[in-house]
Amino acid sequence: MSKTRTIKAKKLKDGTLVEVLPSGKTRSFPVDQTDWAALDAMTDEEVHAAALADPDAQPLTEEQLAQAKRLAPVKRLRMKLHLTQEQFSKRYGIPLTTLRDWEQYRTQPDQASQSYIKVIDAFPDAIAMALGKRRQPEHA
């Protein structure tokens, strides 16, 4: 009987494949970076069936989904742009305390702010350039 080991992996933005350790840290993955076929041995249906078979990873029920806390649209945008709260605040001229209040649902953006957030979503670099800001380097 052969033993199998499940390895969690993720692909970084630069294309590097790393192993995700139980601690959450990552390390170089011991497989040839170009050998994706070896890592993609299961079909989507097999992956779905395997996920459903795991008692610790069951999908949420409709009731649980309804009760789940939703991400604030501005937080979703900030995460999409890979910016910290501080970076987003500085880049787009939004006071940090205001941004935090929006993200934590303490207050809601007014109509003009909602429109500004939509414009940032559509044209993030153009808005930053118009404001004379540049994207801060991302930290891995």
CA nearest to 127, candidates 91, 89, 84: 91
For residue 81, is pLDDT > 60? yes
With b meaning 16 or more CB within 10 Å and e meaning fewer, what string describes 103-113? beeeeebeeee
* Residue 29 pLDDT class (50, 70, 90 cuts): low
Segment 61-81 mean pLDDT: 91
Cβ(21)–Cβ(27) below 8 Å: yes
The whole-number pLDDT of residue 4 equals: 63
* 36 vs 78, residue with greater confidence: 78
Per-domain residue ranges for the chain? 8-59, 73-130
How far is it, in rounded angstroms, from Cα 42 to Cα 46? 6
Q: Is the pLDDT of residue 22 over 70?
A: yes
pLDDT for position 139? 55
pLDDT tens readout for residues 94-131: 999 999 999 999 999 999 999 999 999 999 999 999 99
pTM of the predicted model as reported, rounded to 2 decimal places: 0.52
Work out the percent of the chain whose per-residue pLDDT is above 70: 81
What is the assigned CATH class of domain 73-130?
mainly alpha
Q: What pLDDT, on a 0 to 100 scale, did the predictor assign at position 101?
A: 97
Q: Dump pLDDT digits (tens) for 33-49.
A: 555 555 567 788 887 88
